[in-house]
Amino acid sequence: MEEERSGTQETEDLFIGYWNKVFGDTQLREVLVPIDQAHDTLLKAKVALRTIGEEHSAGRLADGQVPRLKATLRQDAEKTAAKAAQASRAALEQLTQQVHRELFATPARGGETAEGKQDIALVVGGADDAGTAVQNKMADAIRENDGLVVRLLASPWGRDLLSSKMPADTAGAVHSQLQATALSAPPELFPQKQRAQLARRALLPELRKGVDVGGILLDQETQDIFREA
């Protein structure tokens, strides 16, 4: 008969699953490292708690010392768990912003880039509805496999151009739509470096689940260790 697994063990299985999903990408894996390290620290706290009990039983610790030592150990464990979860959440947000920034980076300067900017500027400048004009331009670029125009429209340069033609909040909304459309384009329209960011971006939802589950795991482990302390 199979041994019944605890809620903590099931949570750990989930965390390991998310860890394995992102393991091949160093930047994604690093987000979960604080949680993994805190897990190891909590295991040491469990050993320390057992040692306190053994030392007390052997008469090497006075009755009055034990509650204080256990309380200090628990406080340290709770702080470790909280700091690790916070560190992983912060690392996740930082990585998410980095992926977005690098994925939609403005193409490097050059003759082709200058021509692409000029072409887009002419379309926007001669349109009664700049928002519709850039959306149509994006659709045309994807259909024609013009990755440069796709990337220009989705880049900060594209947003700056829109901001010069319409209110900032409207420009932001239109530009967000352009970026969403760009993400639906064939990956081949992006350079290799940005294709790597596309692949990384696709795993961010799984990584976020890993961070959330990891935080729950640390809380459960802390409660398990000190439940009978």
The pLDDT, as a whole number, for residue 229 is 66
Q: Across the chain, how many H-helices and E-strands are there?
A: 9, 0
pLDDT above 60 (res 3): no
Closest CA to 221 of 67, 88, 28, 84: 84
**pLDDT tens digits, one per residue of 35-69:** 999 999 999 999 999 999 999 999 999 999 999 99
Quick one: pLDDT at residue 213? 98
User: Residue 94: what pLDDT?
Assistant: 98
Global pTM reads 0.89
At 4, the pLDDT band (50, 70, 90 cuts) reads: low
**Integer Rg of the chain from CA:** 26
Contact between residue 215 and residue 35 where contact means Cβ atoms under 8 Å apart: yes
Q: What is the pLDDT of residue 2?
A: 45
Cα separation of the two ends of the chain: 31
Q: DSSP state, 188?
A: G
Please determine, for residue 228, whether its predicted confidence score (pLDDT) is greater than 90. Answer: no
Q: What is the pLDDT of residues 72-85, one digit of tens each?
A: 999 999 999 999 99
pLDDT band at 180 (very low <50, low <70, confident <90, very high): very high
Task: Report the alpha-carbon distance of residue 90 to residue 87 in Å, rounded.
Answer: 5
Distance of CA 126 to the CA centre of its chain: 40
- φ/ψ (deg, to 5) at 101: -65, -45
Geometric angle at alpha carbon 218, from 216 and 25, rounded to 5°: 85
pLDDT at position 1 is 38
Sign of the C-alpha dihedral computed for residues 177, 181, 184 and 190 taken in this order: negative
Beta carbons of 115 and 156 less than 8 angstroms apart? no
User: Which tens digits make up the pLDDT trace of 193-224?
Assistant: 999 999 999 999 999 999 999 999 999 999 99
> How does pLDDT run across 127-170, given as a tens digit for each residue?
899 999 999 999 999 999 999 999 999 999 999 999 999 999 99
Instruction: Output the six-digit token pair for 177.
Output: 């739509």
Instruction: Determine the pLDDT at residue 6.
Output: 84
> Among 98, 104, 86, 80, which Cα is nearest to 27's?
98
Q: What is the pLDDT of residue 227?
A: 87
User: Looking at the predicted structure, is the pLDDT value of residue 108 above 60?
Assistant: yes
